[in-house]
């Protein structure tokens, strides 16, 4: 299917600094910056990058919570070890710890199925649909505006998904100014092919996380399968490898300082175009509070894992996610403070508004901008309540499942178009898959301790911020909370997969009549959750309606300054470009952009997290780096640094050289630039990548898989 590649029009005209590396560009914007791309060193035709159905961008996919890319015509996908960590954990158990030992499939039959809710999506369509989305919303406000946008989006998605095997979504650019329909082929049978041991894939763990220099081989290789008829299908031994429309070629030459590099991926969310008040809230409250709450949850899981190895394995993926989030939020806070982001943004916003006051558009835009500012100022009294109650649905397993079953029961009787997003017919198979895998990621003692941590903090909130339904379920004191959790988890049958499946398939009346204490708790909490949801949607509706005025002023002001204009990231495909670049981190501290295996040996203590496996250390001592070593130094590369513009979601993104060949795999940012989701500071913004020479050497010399190298199209040495 050939996608209609659309330019964004005069409102997104590009006025750029000649050497600007900042920017997570929509592919359709790239022909407009052809001069910049060519000047930076790109050897291809930028027009080819505007078409998502042409190589190389049609080889770049969303997978798990990050990005991956096809690297063979038989459906091999390379992504990060941490993006595939849930797959590795799902296939681990006492006696077969793939997290610690790694995994190399001996053949196709040895490839292990991923957890049932693991998905790979290939973008095949990206079309502007602003008029269709907003036609029924104009003239409305608040919740009515939100509902009109939501209804129009659902209608477009339903129409798009009439073609079997596809998942569609509507994404907004510039916060309600433009809307795009995204169509993606969804593959459900993904299998584990090759994973290095934890002590390679996550060498340095949290000590090195967001730090440079790095020495992690953060990669995993998976394979996508389809049914015998070539269509997306659930796992079956009869399935066959998916044949992608194109795949990336692995470079046989490496990179050096100053080389052009380009990255394509699915960055999650950035906030660079938010208001100064939102910058202040992030720095002064949201980041420090989130760190404190998540750190308490991390402590719970680590404490339980020390006394119960099986529980530790079951919660390994969740623990890894928590640790990553804590480190990221901490670095973001420090970085925003280092860049004085709040003051800089306030000064910039004030200058923008002063400039706007002298423009003809001021009279039309200023009332909406004032309304945005007033709306953002409200809601601080319940922000911690909403944070804690929201975590009940993300940091639990069994309770999360019960809440999903309860909500599904009240959504199913509605016409599908009126059902809540996430609970439509299109979502039911994913919910079923999530319920099924709970068994491998749940322990009642751990979950009770997690809920205790969250709810004891909630119980300290002032009465005005409390919810009667939450108090009814969990009590108002720590003693009442402990008694309630003991009663609920001792009496529930929801921990059995068969019971979860029965309730998932049950009629709404059966679910409503259930006396299971966990279902009763979910049912009791429901009115409070619905009120919070209604408040959120009303606020989001007005922000969708009002923010375009702020964005129109900001875009015009940025272009007047000759600065980059691109939409904040929102999990749609983006492209960044730059160079392999050193980092001047602080006074008298400058980092080279490439690391080598010598650093692995230097850091190695034999104890986690610097416990490099013996086969790796033996191979390093042997020094057989022929075909992989840096041609100038003779050293074996591990990771490299660039000034590519990335954020969360870019994990696993392919890094390409000037010829479009795969030279690296993005996996992290440096500590000084974690705040880049809010503010791009060219002095510090760097991205960290696995050097593909290191991956190839590991597959060749350390944990050999000759068949895999042949399929990847690279020679053994």
Told to judge if 677 belongs to the known catalytic residues of this protein, a careful annotator would answer no
Q: What percent of the chain has pLDDT over 90?
A: 93
Q: What is the CATH number of the domain that holds 696?
A: 2.40.10
Q: Give the helix ranges, DSSP H, for 269-340.
A: 276-281, 287-307, 309-314, 316-338
Stated length of the chain = 717
In a domain, 328, yes or no: yes
| Domain identity same for 320 and 252 | no
pLDDT at 402 over 60: yes
End-to-end CA distance of the chain: 40
Q: What pLDDT score does 561 carry?
A: 87
Helix, strand, or coil (residue 705): coil
- Positive or negative torsion for Cα 668, 674, 678, 682: negative
Any domain includes 547: no
Residue 439, pLDDT > 90, answer no
Residue 564 lies in a domain: no
pLDDT of residue 292: 98
Lowest mean pLDDT among 16-25, 296-305, 553-562, 631-640: 16-25
3-state secondary structure of 336: helix
C-beta separation of 426 from 156 below 8 A? no
Concatenated DSSP letters of 195-254: E--HHHHTTTHHHHTT-SS------EEEEEEE-TTSS-----TT-EE---S--PPBPSS-
Q: CA 80 → CA 63, 107, 200, 652, distances in Å?
A: 10, 21, 12, 5
Both 290 and 333 in a single domain? Answer: yes
Q: Tell me the C-alpha to C-alpha distance, in Å, between residue 216 and each of 183, 199, 662, 689.
A: 34, 8, 18, 9
Specify the pairing of strand 220-226 against strand 240-241. Answer: antiparallel
Asked if 583 and 644 touch (Cβ cutoff 8 Å), the reply is no
Taking the whole predicted model, whether its pTM rises above 0.85 is answered as yes
Q: Are 250 and 149 in the same domain? A: yes
Residue 177: what pLDDT? 97
From CA 569, how far away is CA 649, in angstroms rounded?
10
pLDDT tens digits for range 657-691? 999 999 999 999 999 999 999 999 999 999 999 99
Taking all residues of the chain, what is their mean pLDDT, rounded to a whole number?
94
Task: Evaluate whether residue 262 is within a structural domain.
Answer: no
End of a domain among 538, 567, 586?
538
Q: Residue 458: its pLDDT value, please?
A: 98
pLDDT score for 565: 82
Residue 563's pLDDT is: 75
Are 107 and 201 contained in the same domain? yes
Out of 150, 178, 189, 218, which one is annotated catalytic? 218
Q: Answer yes or no: do 606 and 474 share one domain.
A: no
Say what the pLDDT of residue 564 is.
63
Domain boundary among 538, 567, 598: 538
DSSP state of 607: B
Give residue 289's domain range: 278-340+387-538
Distance from C-alpha of 565 to C-alpha of 595, rounded to nearest angstrom: 34
The encoded tokens of residue 57 equal 């961008």
Q: Are 6 and 127 in contact (CB under 8 A)?
A: yes
Pick the catalytic residue: 82, 215, 247, 689? 82
Does 177 fall in a domain?
yes
- Verify that 675 and 586 share a domain, yes or no: yes
How many independent structural domains does the chain possess? Answer: 3
Position 69 in a domain: yes
Looking at residue 204, its pLDDT comes to 97
Across 166-184, average pLDDT: 97
Residue 543 domain flag: no
Give the confidence band of 21 by pLDDT, cuts at 50, 70, 90.
confident
Does residue 371 form part of some domain? Answer: no
247 is catalytic: no
Query: What does the pLDDT read at residue 19?
Result: 38
pLDDT digits (tens, 9 = 90+) for 688-712: 999 999 999 999 999 999 999 999 9
> Which of these three, 538, 559, 594, is where a domain ends?
538
Are the C-beta atoms of 33 and 54 separated by less than 8 Å? no
If asked whether residues 50 and 190 sit together in one domain, one would say: yes
For range 508-522, the mean pLDDT: 98
Instruction: State whether 285 and 426 are in the same domain.
Output: yes
Tens digit of each residue's pLDDT (9 = 90 or more) over 66-90: 999 999 999 999 999 999 999 999 9
* pLDDT tens digits for range 179-208: 999 999 999 999 999 999 999 999 999 999
Q: Choosing from 28, 642, 651, 675, which is the catalytic residue? A: 651
For residues 36 and 42, give the distance between their C-alpha atoms in angstroms, rounded to a whole number.
9
**Could you tell me the pLDDT band of residue 41, with boundaries at 50, 70 and 90?**
very high
Q: 207 and 319: one domain?
A: no
58, 119 Cβ separation under 8 angstroms: no
Domain shared by 320 and 443, yes or no: yes
% of the chain beyond a pLDDT of 70:
97
- Respond yes or no: is residue 117 known to be catalytic: no
**112 CB neighbour count, 10 Å cutoff:** 16
Same domain as 88, residue 30: yes
Return the bridge partners of 687, or none.
642, 669
Residue 5 has pLDDT above 60, yes or no: no
pLDDT of 361 strictly over 80: yes
SS3 content of the chain, % helix, strand, coil (to 5): 50, 15, 35
pLDDT of residue 489: 98
Q: Which two tokens stand for residue 510?
A: 């059966």
Residue 506 shares a structural domain with residue 588: no
Looking at the predicted structure, is the pLDDT value of residue 7 above 90? no
């Amino acid at each position: 299917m050939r996608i209609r590649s659309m330019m964004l029009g005069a409102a997104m005209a590009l006025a750029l600094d000649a050497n600007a590396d900042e920017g997570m560009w929509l592919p359709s914007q790239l022909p407009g910056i052809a001069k910049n791309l060519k000047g930076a060193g790109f050897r291809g035709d930028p027009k080819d990058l505007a078409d998502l159905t042409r190589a190389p961008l049609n080889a770049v996919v969303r997978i798990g919570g990050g990005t991956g890319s096809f690297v063979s015509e038989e459906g091999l996908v390379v992504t990060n070890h941490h993006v595939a960590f849930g797959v590795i954990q799902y296939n681990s158990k006492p006696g077969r710890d793939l997290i610690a030992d790694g995994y190399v499939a001996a053949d196709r039959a040895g490839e292990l199925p991923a957890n049932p809710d693991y998905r790979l999506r290939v973008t095949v369509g990206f079309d502007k649909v602003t008029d269709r989305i907003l036609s029924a919303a104009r003239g409305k406000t608040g919740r009515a505006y939100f509902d009109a946008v939501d209804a129009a989006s659902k209608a477009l998605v339903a129409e798009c998904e009439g073609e079997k095997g596809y998942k569609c979504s509507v994404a907004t650019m510039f916060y309600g100014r433009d809307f795009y329909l995204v169509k993606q082929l969804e593959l459900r049978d993904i299998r584990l092919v090759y994973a290095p041991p934890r002590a390679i894939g996550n060498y340095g763990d949290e000590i090195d996380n967001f730090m440079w220099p790095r020495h992690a081989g953060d990669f995993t290789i998976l394979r996508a399968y389809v049914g015998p008829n070539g269509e997306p299908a659930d796992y079956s031994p009869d399935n066959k490898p998916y044949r992608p429309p194109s795949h990336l070629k692995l470079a046989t030459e490496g990179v050096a300082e100053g080389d052009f590099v380009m990255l394509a991926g699915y960055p999650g969310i950035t906030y660079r175009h938010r208001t100064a008040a939102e910058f202040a809230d992030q720095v002064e409250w949201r980041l420090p509070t989130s760190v404190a709450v998540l750190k308490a949850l991390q402590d719970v899981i680590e404490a339980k894992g020390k006394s119960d190895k099986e529980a530790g394995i079951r919660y390994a993926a969740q623990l890894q996610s928590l640790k990553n989030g804590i480190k990221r939020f901490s670095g973001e806070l420090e970085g925003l403070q280092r860049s004085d982001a709040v003051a800089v943004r306030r000064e910039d916003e004030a200058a923008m508004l002063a400039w706007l006051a002298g423009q003809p558009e001021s009279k039309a835009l200023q009332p909406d901008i004032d309304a945005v500012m007033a709306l953002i100022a409200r809601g601080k009294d319940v922000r911690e309540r909403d944070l804690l109650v929201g975590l009940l649905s993300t940091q639990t397993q069994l309770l999360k499942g019960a809440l999903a079953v309860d909500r599904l029961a009240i959504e199913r009787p509605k016409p599908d178009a009126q059902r809540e997003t996430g609970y439509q017919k299109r979502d039911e198979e994913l919910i079923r898959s999530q319920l099924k895998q709970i068994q491998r990621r749940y322990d009642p003692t751990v979950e009770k301790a997690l809920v205790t941590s969250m709810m004891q903090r909630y119980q300290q909130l002032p009465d005005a911020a409390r919810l009667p339904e939450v108090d009814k379920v969990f009590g108002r004191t720590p003693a009442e909370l402990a008694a309630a959790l003991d009663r609920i988890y001792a009496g529930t049958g929801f921990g059995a997969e068969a019971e979860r499946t029965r309730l998932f398939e049950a009629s709404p009346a059966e679910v409503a009549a259930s006396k299971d204490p966990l279902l009763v708790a979910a049912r009791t909490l429901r009115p409070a959750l619905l009120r919070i949801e209604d408040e959120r949607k009303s606020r989001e509706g007005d922000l969708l309606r009002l923010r375009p005025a702020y964005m129109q002023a900001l875009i015009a002001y940025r272009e007047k300054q000759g600065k980059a204009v691109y939409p904040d990231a929102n999990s749609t495909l983006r492209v960044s470009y730059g160079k392999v670049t050193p980092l001047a981190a602080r006074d008298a501290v400058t980092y080279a952009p490439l690391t080598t295996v010598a650093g692995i040996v230097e850091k190695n203590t034999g104890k986690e997290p610097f416990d490099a496996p013996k086969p790796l250390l033996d191979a390093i001592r042997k020094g057989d780096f022929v075909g992989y070593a840096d041609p100038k130094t003779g050293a074996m590369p591990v990771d490299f640094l660039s000034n590519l513009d990335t954020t969360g979601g870019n994990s696993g993104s392919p890094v390409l050289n000037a010829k479009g060949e795969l030279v690296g795999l993005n996996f992290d940012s440096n500590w000084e630039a974690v705040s880049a989701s809010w503010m791009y500071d060219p002095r510090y913004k760097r991205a960290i990548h696995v050097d593909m020479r290191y991956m190839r050497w590991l597959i060749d010399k350390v944990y050999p898989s000759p068949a895999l190298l042949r399929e990847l199209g690279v020679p053994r040495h």
